[in-house]
Amino acid sequence: MIFLHYRTAEQKIRELLLTHSASTALQKVVDVLYEGFEKYSWVGIYLVKGDMLVLGPWKGKQATEHTTIPFGRGVCGAAAKTGKTELVNDVSTDKRYLSCFHSTRSEIVVPIKKLHVVLGEIDIDSFRSAAFNRNDASFLEKVADMLSQHI
């Protein structure tokens, strides 16, 4: 497992977005996030279709049953509705949480926005409690910003 610092990962993502077409770039970004950070145990990108979130590229040990999520449902739907990053330190205490994997303890959802319109989101689960901090949030918000040009 390779451990990347946020800046290195950001640079890597910036480069791959310049060199790959939109269709392959999203999967490559997911791969960099999953492989670069051990605590990111499942990484997916949901894309907005109408008032639904539809799962796009993802990487993790298991597939999720939540491949479509209506706006407003779950942590993902909340982030899509408000356009704000959701950081859940303990999923067992968040009533909105839609369970995907028994191993998940914490989750972060970062909307991908263009001109304040939510186009999609980055959803990351961790097997660690409180795995995500403000550094993860600001790093992933930068990644989401870069992705907004490719959706």
Nearer to ligand SME by Cβ, of 17 and 78: the residue is 78
Answer for which of 64, 89, 103, 148 binds ligand SME (CB under 6 A) is 64
Q: What are phi and psi of 43, to 5 degrees?
A: -130, 130
- Does 66 interact with ligand SME (rule: CB under 6 A)? yes
Torsion angle, CA of 148/130/3/40, rounded to 10 degrees?
A: -50
At residue 44's C-alpha, the angle toward residues 89 and 140, to 5°, is 60
**What does the alpha-carbon distance between residue 130 and residue 106 come to, in Å, rounded to a whole number?**
6
Point out which span in 6-14, 15-23, 70-78, 126-134 binds ligand SME (CB under 6 A).
70-78
Point out which span in 8-16, 71-79, 127-135, 140-148 binds ligand SME (CB under 6 A).
71-79
User: For residue 115, what are its two tokens?
Assistant: 């001109």
Minimum CB–partner distance for residue 80 and ligand SME (Å): 9
**What does the alpha-carbon distance between residue 148 and residue 125 come to, in Å, rounded to a whole number?**
21
Interface contacts to ligand SME, rule CB under 6 A: 44, 64, 66, 69, 74-77, 97-98, 100, 107, 123, 125
